[in-house]
Amino acid sequence: GHHAIMLAAARGAEVVAVTGNPSKRRDALALGATDVVLDDGGELDAVAELVRMGGVDVVLSTTSDTTDVGAYVAALRPEGRLVVAGLGTVPLTLDSALLTEKAATILGAQAGGRPELEAVIERAVRGEVRPRLERYPLAQLARALHRLADRRVRYRAVVSTEL
């Protein structure tokens, strides 16, 4: 998700980030998002907020929890695209009548090939894309795995074998 914000912003896109974690709001703005919408699965409803804002052309879902991803079809403008990049643990469900009404497209995204990787590396060299990491020495592997299992890792966890 954080890489998607940086890459889209670097390409000039207007990015509205969605998060369920209010503490990530400032981070998303610093990464290049122009706005941040909170979704707590209850009273704070990101789909409704995106609709209120006029909708979006593309929803890029990077979450591994795909339970509610299909609901984002409602936030798409006509001929919008729902791009699923996260490997979900449950089947994607959506309103097919709404999908048809909007003439929307659903796409599955995969990592690109060598040319795309080289383009991302070039952006990283220029400082346009910088991964955010939590670094752990190999001796703290168990701690890193526990934080990952508890969904407390911010962005990416990297375990290093360097002494």
Q: Can you give 89-113 as a three-state secondary structure string?
A: CCCCCCCHHHHHHCCCEEEECCCCC
What are 80-118's pLDDT values in tens digits? 999 998 877 888 889 999 999 999 999 988 777 788 888
pTM, 2 dp: 0.76
Mean pLDDT on 51-67 = 88
Q: What is the pLDDT of residue 148?
A: 86
What are 7-26's pLDDT values in tens digits? 888 888 899 999 888 888 88
* Strand (E) or helix (H) holding 155: none
Of 45, 34, 39, 36, the residue nearest 9 (C-alpha): 34
Q: What is the pLDDT of residue 132?
A: 80
Q: Residue 20: which residues within 8 A CB-CB, separation 6 or more?
A: 38, 39, 40, 41
Mean pLDDT on 41-70 = 85
Q: What is the pLDDT of residue 101?
A: 95
Q: How far apart are CA 126 and CA 147, in angstroms?
A: 31
What mean pLDDT, rounded, does the chain reach? 87
Taking each helix axis from N to C terminus, what angle separates 114-125 and 2-10, rounded to the nearest 10 degrees? Answer: 80
Mean pLDDT on 126-147 = 87
* Strand (E) or helix (H) holding 114: helix 114-125
